[in-house]
Structure 1
């Protein structure tokens, strides 16, 4: 049997690294962490205090997503400290999102997309 210790990282394809870095640093508030000297561009970010990471990988192709925010499409989720504060921040940044304070999941959810249409869920305790 495999003994899991947690999710180490999620990797996302981006087409414009500088645009993606601005979004993940300035809007989402992630902190950059050192990345090995791969032979392709990208960026790594630490998430929370448990060692989880987000890896951005530059790829010239397109993401498969063309439409808007679909909460049932593939995504990754980040727990945030304050639901209302997060909604207010996204509104100030002009970021389109779908929110559901009373989700059937038992926690409040906010869905948005990054500049390459990757779906992100931000969730918080109710």
Structure 2
């Protein structure tokens, strides 16, 4: 039987790498990592001990064009403070959907990136 340790990375397709990097590097302020010289264009980011990989795919299609639907594909990042994250998103002008008392057992905040990928930020209740 395999022994699972953790998720190493999540990869998502982006239509325009320059635009996506501006969002993830400058808006979300993730730390960019050195990426091997693959034939494809992309960027790697650190999120704690895990990674987010962006791969440029100009013809890629997200499954959504409308409002955030948490039942659709998404990735989640645990954040230190729900209140600080809300304040930061508001200051950055990023629309979000907040669920401060989620039945999940922790607070949830959902946003869309520039390619309409859903990103979930999770935090302890009342943090």
TM-score (norm 2): 0.94
In the TM superposition, what whole-angstrom CA distance separates every residue of 1:79-103 from its partner, at most 9, and x where no partner exists? Answer: 0111111101111111111001100
User: Does structure 2 retain, via aligned residues, the 8 Å contact 1:75–1:119?
Assistant: yes
Aligned counterpart, 2:108: 109
Deviations 1:29-48 (A, max 9, x none): 21000100011110000101
| Match of residue 98 from structure 1 | 97
Gapped regions of structure 2 (runs ≥ 5): none
> Where do residues 1-126 of structure 1 align in structure 2 (5 Å cutoff)?
1-48=1-48, 51-61=49-59, 62-126=61-125
| CA deviation after TM superposition for structure 1 residue 64, in Å | 2.4
TM-score, with length taken from structure 1:
0.94
* Conserved 8 A contact 1:69-1:112: yes
CA distance in 1 between partners of 2:28 and 2:4 (Å) = 27
Structure 1: any 5+ residue segments left out of the alignment?
Answer: none
* RMSD, matched Cα: 0.9
Runs of 4+ in 1 over 2 A off after TM superposition: none
What is the CA-CA distance between 1:66 and the residue it aligns to?
1.5
Deviations 1:6-59 (A, max 9, x none): 0000001101111111111222221000100011110000101xx200000000
